[in-house]
Every structure is written in structure tokens, then in C-alpha cells.
Structure 1
Amino acid sequence: MARKCQHLTLKLVSVLLCLGYTSAQVFGGGGCPNVKAQSTFDLNRYLGDWYEVYKFYAAFESGQSCAKAHYELKSDGHIKIVNSGFKDGKAINATGDAFIPDPQNNPAKLKLRFSSLAPYGNYWVLDTDYDNYTFIYSCSGVLGITHYEFAWILTRQPNITEDVKTKLFNEAKAFGIDTTNFKLQDRSGCPNNQ
């Protein structure tokens, strides 16, 4: 009995620590929504510049405006991702590394990290037409009790058409993703190339 209580106490402490760590993210009860990444993926067409239009709140992006991402193929087959934007009027950027672990069976399920000290996280492309938009999603479960998730809608131009927004929000809803968590990226006062 004492051993069972210790196990439950340890599990509860772990959950509370995880909730504290992820409280600055979007999280919900139960497991992750049952999403499906795009079945085909052409990395070469995906490379280049993307503008962040909608996103779920993430502490590491808090207060950032004019967010933009640049994807470039590296000689080792990985993808260099440079995220840039502005915070408190100052230019900021972060460089990440991504790769496709299983290009044959899951070509749109990438792994991504922005620090060599961090583990790779999920970066799933749920839908892209390569020329106009991409819908990216990531979710991690915590002990089967809760989950935290990230989502982004990026476009090749700094804005999005209402038709594309409606299409992607409807796809999100069909997967069980709560679209009320999407926040519009602040693009007011952005430089022309940002």
C-alpha cells in the first residue's frame, strides 16, 4: 500500500511539474487530438520564406511581432530554419535544425529543435500547397492525463485570404484542434521584407 501511494505521489508531482512547465503553452485534458500529417511532402518545394499569420500561444514567442521563417537545405540533408521577428522594437532570430526521420512512410512528419541541448520535437505538416500556405502542428502527451500543443499557419505572403483561413480552420476542427487557440500574428509596422 505504501509503495502504491509513493507511486501515485510521484506521478502527481510529475504532472504538477509538467503543468508548471507547460502552463505558458496551450494544453488540455486527455491525450493529443488524432491528427494526420499530409501523406506526401516535397521538401524542395517547401524551402524558402514563410510568414507567420496564426499561431497557438507559445512562451518562447511571447511578445514577438513580424515573425518570419526561412527554410534552407543543408549538405547533411537536414533543414536549417531561421526564425526572425521583432521584440520590444529589436530584431531577434533563432536558428533551428530539422529533419525527416522516415521519408518513405511519413514524409511530412519532421523533427525540429532550436538548441543542441534540447530534444527534437514534432513538427507535422498537416496541409500545404507549397505556394500559398502551410499548416503545422505539434502535440505532446503528459502521462496520458493532459497534453500541450503548438500550431502555426504560415503563408508565402504576409497575409492570408479568408478562403484559405476558413479551409485550414475547418481542417483543424475536423481533427479536434480547438481553433479558438489561434492568435493572429502582429504584423503592424513590419519592414517590407519581414
Structure 2
Amino acid sequence: MASHDNKQRYRLAWTAALVAVAAVGLGVAAHAGMPIGNRNVPQPAKVVELNRYLGTWYEFGRYENLFEKNCDAVTAQYSLLDDGKIRVVNSCRRDGGKGETKVSEGKAIVQPDSGNAKLKLSFFGPFYFGDYWVLDHADDYNWAIAGEPSGKYLWILTREAVPSAELAAQLQSRAIELGYDASLIRLTRH
């Protein structure tokens, strides 16, 4: 009986490993076809005070990606969990922000020695694959610019759904200063 249980555990572990490898492979394949908008992604400019970064963010603009394709009215909500991880709830609406709301929930862990500016994300169970770097933020945390090391992803976030024209121009300029190709930025409608 114990031998049968061990074989069954082995098969389950092997199956889980194959599923994980397949998921990573699909992610890499999808990621490979995306344009690189920044070939020299800088290290984060500032330390992030997690308690000030938590809360609701509105996406002002982004590099288009498969998981947000045709999404508008995009928000991200960050909250601290009892185990020290960060709960991440992303939502968006398709059809120009008028369609059905799509919600993705995941977790993030802060990378050691990063000043809380580098996170690893997971939306698919216990595996933390995705990089999320807070590259810069306002001193009062009313805006943030996030990316990751490949230069294929960019998110420009604000605390208000529709920032002032002055702030909008400032954010686009700051993204360019960080090395991002402004022609790839897709502005988000709210």
C-alpha cells in the first residue's frame, strides 16, 4: 500500500512539474513576440515605502500586452497580507471600458535588498515568475512608473483615474527619461 501511495505521489509531482514547465514555456513564447521598448531598463530610482504604495492605482498608460489586450478602466489594488506578502487585484473592462469587468488576483513578494522596489509576482499558484519593478514614484505617492528587466512591459500609474494634463505630460516625459519608447505607450481610458 505504501509503495502504491509513493507511486501516486511521484506521478502527481511529475504532472505538476510538467504543467509548470508548460506554463513557463507558453509565457516565454508569448513574451518573445513583444517589442522591446527599453533596452536598458534602469534600476529603481527610490526606496518604496510599502504602506504608502499600497492602495488603489489607476493605469494612466502601458505597453500593450497579451493579458491586458484591449483593456481600459484598468486598476490595480495592493494590500498587505498577514504573512507579509502583498495581495494584488488587477481589474479592467474591455470594449472601451464599457464591457464586462475582468479581474485577476495574485500575490507578490518583495525581493531582498531592493528597497522594496522589486517584487516577484504570481497569478498562477505558488510560483513567483513575474518581475515588477517600481522604477520611480512621486514623493507623495500620487504616481508611479513600473516595469521589469526585459523592457517589454511598462505601467504608468496614478492615484486619480484621470490625471491633470500637466501630470500626464510629466509622466510621459519621465518614462522617456527612463529610456522608454513613448510611441509604444497605450493611454488607458477611464
Q: Classify the TM-score, shorter chain.
A: 0.7 to 0.9
Task: Tell me what 2:69 maps to.
Answer: 62
Cα distance in 1 for partners of 2:39, 2:63 equals 15
1:78 and 1:35, CA in 2 relative to 1: closer, same or farther beyond 3 A? same
1:113 and 1:26, CA in 2 relative to 1: closer, same or farther beyond 3 A? farther
- What amino acid does structure 2 have at the position aligned with 1:92? K
Instruction: Report Cα offsets for 1:47-97 as digits up to 9, x if no partner.
Output: 111111101010110121211111110011110010112235212100011
Instruction: Report Cα offsets for 1:117-156 as digits up to 9, x if no partner.
Output: 754221111111254111111132xxxxxxx510011111
Matched, 1:109 2:127: no
Unaligned 5+ runs, structure 2: 1-25
TM-score by length of 2: 0.74
Task: Tell me what 1:121 maps to.
Answer: 130
Matched, 1:154 2:163: no
Aligned residues: 161
| Equivalent position SS for 1:83 | strand
More strand by share: 1
| Equivalent position SS for 1:49 | strand
Task: Tell me what 2:168 maps to.
Answer: 165
RMSD, aligned α-carbons: 2.4
Matched, 1:90 2:97: no
Cα distance in 2 for partners of 1:34, 1:83 equals 24
TM-score by length of 1: 0.73
Task: Tell me what 1:79 maps to.
Answer: 86
Select between 35-44 and 113-122 the one with higher mean Cα deviation. 113-122
TM-fit CA distance, 1:172: 2.4
Which residue of 128, 133, 139 corresponds with 2:143?
133
The ranges of structure 1 where at least 4 consecutive aligned residues each deviate by more than 6 angstroms after the TM superposition are: none
- What amino acid does structure 1 have at the position aligned with 2:175? A
Cα distance in 2 for partners of 1:160, 1:25 equals 28
Cα distance in 2 for partners of 1:62, 1:34 equals 23
Question: Identity percentage over the alignment?
Answer: 31
1:128 and 1:175, CA in 2 relative to 1: closer, same or farther beyond 3 A? closer
